[in-house]
Amino acid sequence: MSEAFVRVRDLKIGATVYPPGEKPHDIEIVHGVSFDLEKGKVLGLIGESGAGKSTIGLASMAYGRGGVELTGGEVWVNGRDILQSSKGDLRALRGGEVTYVSQSAAASFNPAKQILEQVTEAAIRHGKFTKAEAEARAIVLFEKLGLPDPQNIGKRYPHQVSGGQLQRCMTALALCPEPDLVVFDEPTTALDVTTQIDVLMAIKEAIRDTGVAALYITHDLAVVAQVSDDIMVLKMGDMVEYGSVDQIINAPKEDYTRALVSVRSIEHEEKQPTREPVLICENITARYKGTKFDVLKDVNVEVHPGQTLAVVGESGSGKSTLARVITGLLPQREGRVHFAGRDLNPVMRTRPRDDLRELQMIYQMADTAMNPRQTVGTIIGRPLEFYFGLRGAEKQKRIQELLDEIELGKGFQDRYPAELSGGQKQRVCIARALAAKPKLIICDEVTSALDPLVADGILKLLLDLQKIEDVAYLFITHDLATVRAIADSIAVMYQGEVVRYGTKTEVLSPPFDDYTDLLLSSVPEMKLGWLEEVIANRKMESAGN
Amino acid sequence: MIKNIPFSALIGLIITGAYFFVAIFAGFVAPYGMAEVVGDVWEPASAAHLLGTDNIGRDLLTRMIYGGQTTIFIATAGTILSFVTGSTLGFLAAVLGGWADQLLSRLVDLLMAIPSLILALVILAMVPVTVPVLILVMGLLDATRVFRLARSVAVDINVMDYVEAASLRGEGRMWVIFREILPNALSPLVAELGLRFIFMVLFISTLSFLGLGVQPPLADWGGIVKENKDGIIYGIGAALYPAIAIATLAISVNLVADWVLNRTTSLKGGRG
């Protein structure tokens, strides 16, 4: 009987948890997972945060991160159970036979050493190649991964290349010692969509050409569908479904898989502008203090009451800066912000209280947007107290109303942010914004730090609240699927300028300008063969190259 | 919370508590009057004088108890003063930023550039040495260190989204400092409090030993060392008791500080 190259049987992983105010205790975080992986094949591990996908990925190197313990089962790599291996054997395995590509290349490279030195280090240390051989191999890999100037890029330092390039360098690092298995842990999650497809394509081709086995970990089913042969869906440390890509995408058996496949299918009819715009940005030009470069150039957009303007663009396109100008955190150099029938003072500190109240903001990271030492009741209650002078029972009643509106219900008032899940935290932030009875809420990437299913819930909530409260949203995002779900009008930003602006239908219908075309086509679709199709058809290189 | 208190912290709490109790109730606990001459010079330990007598025949245990009262009182008051001024100014510098931050920070750098003991000696040589003056001088000199810590902690907190959210709401600086920053800066400050208190004990003891601290006949630990140091040559250990007292207090306060530090950092969980 031929045995698979990687064979995981009934893998159990435990960890110790330290809940505040309680005694530390052990829990099981992966409950008996099994799979096989052949050389030259890619297995996608998919699930939301806490599903145990990274933990399983690291277990294939017999490694448990931060107090995680591999408590049971077998992990066979190259004909031996590595959970029983000696430390010396594991040292030969890690970085030699099995290598790892992490999510943040920027945090994983040593900023003080040249890229080539780091890429070849493992191969040389494991005695697989001499220095000259390893460097020659690295250059071949750089070329294969589509990096510019493969001969010399290795002489640069990590900060001298872009994020997408660095992620490809890390793939080269992982492939350099000729490993048998590579673990990719969310390698494209931190990248812009347009950069993501280049990196995905490079990874896919490199895996194919080198014939390694790969574990590809991600939370994005559309991404994993492009690179994997098989997919395992995980939830809370349990296997939900395991099958070929084709079967998982086109004929999912389990409800949970179906929910993941159909995520972002919110239908939203675009509304026509009816009343006077609530926000008009006229010829906004802005730059940061001490720089000689305009981050916003002559930006003109309007938001209508009760409607959503989505501002789309890659990182560095100036979309968050636009929010800072509107809120007055960064006074513009030229142009004016017209809000609810009056001109807003450029400097936030000089704005009257009503201007501040009617313009609220929700942040990307709900974690840092709430004071960890304040209870939910204080966080939501403070705007009520501050703007409306509510006290005592009246305030309590209004807090509870708001909590009901964000579908949290009773028992949340006395909790601290650390005691909430990611989605609940973002809901509390929404309630805090709503408490001020605003006319406009600026949503800065509010769903990008959340799992797809949770993000869907937040988007639905925002749409429902818009109907009830008649509030307008200026929705900043890099994710076009989100835009399709909630926008009434769209502004596409590129290098500080609005390159395309209009109602949703106008912006999303051809003919496209090159940039919008690139952006639209880069959003991963839940379809086999999508990646090759896009690469073949696109007109413009992404800015990350 | 109290149930989970580790053994070392418990020991620290008990010893620290005992010192403070004795200091507060010195008048009731001490067997004799503070400056009362009750026996011969440097009498050995006996039932009447548990630690013996000092260089002019006062009961050493009584001197130690009253000395502890003075030392602990001055150190406590000095620590409170240094924390209130240091952290308020530090937070203010972080929140205001710009030239206000520059001015305060450079001023503090200037003060820290001169060794604080020398500076304290120079100041105390010019003004009459009384307990309030001592507290003021020590508290303000030590505030420079608290300022640095408070400022660096607050600079980190000041860029958090929740502080931005508060200023976007229109909150004043007082709210930002006391309601947004202070609660989050408390744990490093509390841990530092224990250490600074001990440095304060050492500081006042050093000053007294050099004769510019607490003035006789008032007792304090540094002063007792000074008064009895000549006895060491004759094999009389009277000068060692204050040293033991300072050492045990330092260790026990630090055990408590360590525990506070550990407890509050683990509270941060994975978010740290």
| Token couple for A404 | 């009901």
Closest by alpha carbon to A234, among A422, A36, A53? A53
> What pLDDT score was predicted for residue A505?
86
In the predicted model, what is the mean pLDDT of residues A213-235? 88
Residues A6-261: name the CATH superfamily.
P-loop containing nucleotide triphosphate hydrolases (3.40.50.300)
A42/A230 Cα distance (integer angstroms): 7
B171 contact A CB<8A: yes
For residue A242, the SS3 value is strand
Spell out a b/e string for B59-88, using b for 16 or more CB atoms within 10 Å of the CB, else e.
bbbbbbbbbbbbbbbbbbbbbebbbebbbb
Torsion angle, alpha carbons of A48, A54, A55, A57, to 10? 130
Q: Which residues pair with A101 in a beta bridge?
A: A184
3-state secondary structure A29-54: EEEEEEEEECCCCEEEEECCCCCCHH
B248/B244 Cα distance (integer angstroms): 6
Nearest to B184 among A20, A356, A371 (CB): A371
Helix (H) or strand (E) holding A442: strand A440-444
> What pLDDT score was predicted for residue A20?
60
What's the total number of domains in chain B? 1
In the predicted model, what is the mean pLDDT of residues A247-271? 79
Question: Minimal Cα–Cα distance from A388 to chain B, Å?
Answer: 12
B98/B106 Cα distance (integer angstroms): 12
Judge: B165–A374 Cβ closer than 8 Å, yes or no: no
For the whole model, what pTM was predicted? 0.80
Judge: B271–A372 Cβ closer than 8 Å, yes or no: yes
- Residues in CB range of A270: below 8 A, 6 or more apart: A487, A488, A489, A503, A504, A505
Q: Which residues pair with A284 in a beta bridge?
A: A299
A244 contact B CB<8A: no
| A417-428 residue pLDDT tens | 888 888 889 999
A370 contact B CB<8A: yes
Instruction: Output the tens digit of pLDDT for each of chain B's 272 residues.
Output: 556 788 888 999 999 999 999 999 988 888 887 777 777 877 787 877 888 888 788 888 888 899 899 999 999 999 999 999 999 999 999 999 889 999 999 999 999 999 988 999 999 889 888 899 999 999 999 999 999 999 999 999 998 899 999 999 988 888 999 999 998 888 888 888 888 998 999 999 999 888 888 887 788 888 888 888 888 888 787 888 888 998 899 899 988 888 877 766 544 433 33
Helix axes B240-267, B60-96, angle to 10 degrees: 40
- Residues in CB range of A388: below 8 A, 6 or more apart: none
A199/B235 Cα distance (integer angstroms): 79
Residue A544 has pLDDT above 70, yes or no: no
**Beta carbons of B56 and B41 less than 8 angstroms apart:** yes
| B32-49 residue pLDDT tens | 877 777 778 777 878 778
Nearest to A386 among B1, B169, B180 (CB): B169
> Which residues of A186-295 form beta strands (DSSP E)?
213-218, 230-235, 238-244, 279-286
- A362: chain B residues, CB-CB within 8 Å: none
Residue A248 has pLDDT above 90, yes or no: no
For strand A472-477 and strand A334-339, is the pairing parallel, antiparallel, or unpaired? Answer: unpaired
Find out whether the peptide bond into B132 is cis, omega within 30 degrees of 0.
no
| A371-387 residue pLDDT tens | 988 999 999 999 999 99
∠ CA A370-A371-A374 to the nearest 5 degrees?
110
What confidence category does residue A540 fall into, taking pLDDT thresholds of 50, 70 and 90? low
- Residues in CB range of A200: below 8 A, 6 or more apart: A188, A223, A226, A227, A531
Spell out a b/e string for B40-54, using b for 16 or more CB atoms within 10 Å of the CB, else e.
eebbeeeeebebbbb
**Beta carbons of A233 and A254 less than 8 angstroms apart:** yes
- A374: chain B residues, CB-CB within 8 Å: 179, 183
A459 Ramachandran zone, left/alpha/beta (phi>0; psi -120 to 50): alpha
DSSP secondary structure string for all residues of A101-163? E-S-HHHHS-TTS-HHHHHHHHHHHTTSS-HHHHHHHHHHHHHHTT-SSTTTGGGS-GGGS-H
| A466-516 residue pLDDT tens | 988 889 999 998 888 888 888 999 999 988 889 999 888 888 888 888 888
> What pLDDT score was predicted for residue B272?
30
Judge: B162–A21 Cβ closer than 8 Å, yes or no: no
A341 contact B CB<8A: no
A53/A50 Cα distance (integer angstroms): 8
For residue A496, the SS3 value is coil
| A104-113 residue pLDDT tens | 888 889 888 9
| Token couple for A271 | 């509304």
Closest by alpha carbon to A107, among A20, A190, A23? A190
Query: In chain A, what are the domain boundaries?
Result: 6-261, 279-372+438-509
A426/A57 Cα distance (integer angstroms): 29
Identify the sign of the CA torsion B123, B128, B134, B139.
negative
**Beta carbons of A287 and A295 less than 8 angstroms apart:** yes
| A283-300 residue pLDDT tens | 999 888 878 888 889 999
> Is B1 part of a structural domain of the chain?
no
> What pLDDT score was predicted for residue A539?
65
Which of A349, A370, A373 to substitute to test the interface with B, most B CBs within 10 Å?
A373
- Residues in CB range of A203: below 8 A, 6 or more apart: A145, A168, A171, A184, A187, A227
Which of B95, B169, B174 to substitute to test the interface with A, most A CBs within 10 Å?
B169
B235 contact A CB<8A: no
A193 contact B CB<8A: no
DSSP secondary structure string for all residues of A283-352? EEEE--TT--S-SEEEEEEEE-TT-EEEEE--TTSSHHHHHHHHHTSS--SEEEEEETTEEPPSSGGGS-
For residue A502, the SS3 value is strand
> What pLDDT score was predicted for residue A409?
77
| A118-128 residue pLDDT tens | 999 999 988 88
Judge: B162–A369 Cβ closer than 8 Å, yes or no: yes
**Beta carbons of A480 and A492 less than 8 angstroms apart:** no
For strand A213-218 and strand A42-46, is the pairing parallel, antiparallel, or unpaired? Answer: parallel
**Beta carbons of A362 and A448 less than 8 angstroms apart:** no
Q: Please give the order of strands across the beta sheet that includes A181-185.
A: A98-101, A181-185, A213-218, A42-46, A230-235, A238-244
Judge: A353–B171 Cβ closer than 8 Å, yes or no: no
In the predicted model, what is the mean pLDDT of residues A64-71? 79
> Is B238 part of a structural domain of the chain?
yes
- Residues in CB range of A303: below 8 A, 6 or more apart: A277, A278, A279, A309, A440, A472, A473, A474
What is the total residue count of chain A?
545
What confidence category does residue A435 fall into, taking pLDDT thresholds of 50, 70 and 90? very high
| Token couple for A362 | 């929700």
Indicate the DSSP class of residue A276: -
**Beta carbons of A281 and A300 less than 8 angstroms apart:** yes
Q: Which residues pair with A296 in a beta bridge?
A: A286
B184 contact A CB<8A: yes
For residue A246, the SS3 value is helix
- What does each C-alpha distance from A107 to A190, A501, B49 come to in angstroms? 11, 36, 66
> What pLDDT score was predicted for residue B176?
92
Indicate the DSSP class of residue B189: H
Which region among A85-99, A263-277, A298-312, B75-89 has the lowest average model confidence (pLDDT)? A263-277
Which of A347, A371, A440 to substitute to test the interface with B, most B CBs within 10 Å?
A371
- A382: chain B residues, CB-CB within 8 Å: 169
Q: Supply the CATH classification number for the domain A279-372+438-509.
A: 3.40.50.300
Q: Residue B36: give its domain's CATH number.
A: 1.10.3720.10
**Beta carbons of B148 and B90 less than 8 angstroms apart:** yes
> Is B2 part of a structural domain of the chain?
no
Which region among A261-265, A296-300, A331-335, A528-532 has the lowest average model confidence (pLDDT)? A261-265
Q: Within 13 Å of residue B270, how many CA atoms lie on the same side as its CB? A: 10
A356 contact B CB<8A: yes
Topology match between the domains A6-261 and A279-372+438-509? yes
Residue of A nearest to B172 (CA): A349
Residue A455 has pLDDT above 90, yes or no: no
Range of the domain at B55: 7-271
Nearest to B170 among A23, A353, A363 (CB): A353
Residue A39 C-alpha from the chain's centroid: 29
Question: Minimal Cα–Cα distance from B264 to chain A, Å?
Answer: 10
**Beta carbons of A261 and A284 less than 8 angstroms apart:** no
Question: Minimal Cα–Cα distance from B242 to chain A, Å?
Answer: 39
A73/A11 Cα distance (integer angstroms): 4
B170 contact A CB<8A: yes
| Token couple for B41 | 């010079």
Q: Above pLDDT 70, what percent of chain A?
A: 97
What confidence category does residue A19 fall into, taking pLDDT thresholds of 50, 70 and 90? low
**Beta carbons of A183 and A100 less than 8 angstroms apart:** yes
B146/B100 Cα distance (integer angstroms): 17
- Residues in CB range of A186: below 8 A, 6 or more apart: A54, A102, A103, A217, A218, A219
Nearest to B271 among A329, A367, A386 (CB): A367
Provide the total of helices (H) and of strands (E) in chain B, helices listed first.
11, 0
Judge: A371–B180 Cβ closer than 8 Å, yes or no: yes
> What pLDDT score was predicted for residue A308?
92
B212/B231 Cα distance (integer angstroms): 21
